[in-house]
């Protein structure tokens, strides 16, 4: 268990962020796995999706039980998300690692600015 302390800490922090912000942990999981676990960026992105899906399932349970859920928008957004996820997963194998980092970093920066302003 001791050799997995970095893994557990990354999961713990992303779990807190997921619970607070609803899947916001991806912005932490990917860079943390790359830096602290020395994971390849494409594997980090793919692994983060699997991690976040489980965290989101847990968070969804609590959001539903507390009434923080809008079923009317959930279905169409999920349909669009599934379509986008399929395309994104196919593109992941085709995008060079450096471009993937630039795109991901740019999305994080733009999102951060939108949240602040």
Write out pLDDT tens, residues 56-94: 888 888 888 998 888 889 889 989 989 998 998 888 889
CB within 8 Å of 96: residues ≥ 6 apart: none
Q: What is the pLDDT of residue 62?
A: 85
Residues 6+ apart with CB under 8 A from 27: 17, 108, 111
DSSP string, 8-34: HHHHHHHHHHHHHHSSTTHHHHHHHHH
Residue 24 φ/ψ, nearest 5 degrees: -75, -5
The pLDDT value given to residue 14: 84
23 falls in which pLDDT band (50, 70, 90)? low
| Environment class of 22 (CB within 10 Å of its CB; exposed 0-12, middle 13-18, buried 19+) | middle
Q: Which two tokens stand for residue 46?
A: 């793919």
Q: Predicted confidence band at 31 (pLDDT cuts at 50, 70, 90)?
A: confident
pLDDT at 39: 93
Quick one: what percent of the chain has pLDDT higher than 70? 96
Tell me, what's the pLDDT at 5?
92
The pTM (predicted TM-score) of the whole model is 0.68
Cβ-contact 108, 27 below 8 angstroms: yes
Predicted pLDDT of residue 114: 85
Per-domain residue ranges for the chain?
2-116
Cβ-based neighbours of 42, under 8 Å, separated by 6 or more: 92, 93, 97, 100
Tell me, what's the pLDDT at 84? 93
């Amino acid at each position: 268990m001791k050799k997995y302390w970095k893994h557990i800490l990354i999961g713990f922090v992303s779990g807190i962020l997921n619970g607070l912000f609803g899947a916001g942990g991806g912005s932490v999981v990917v860079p943390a796995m790359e830096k602290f676990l020395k994971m390849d960026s494409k594997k980090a992105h793919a692994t983060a999706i699997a991690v976040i899906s489980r965290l989101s399932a847990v968070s969804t349970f609590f959001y539903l039980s507390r009434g923080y859920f809008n079923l009317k928008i959930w279905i169409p957004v999920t349909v669009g998300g599934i379509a986008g996820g399929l395309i994104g997963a196919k593109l992941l194998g085709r995008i060079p690692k450096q471009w993937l980092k630039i795109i991901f970093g740019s999305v994080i920066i733009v999102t951060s600015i939108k949240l602040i302003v």
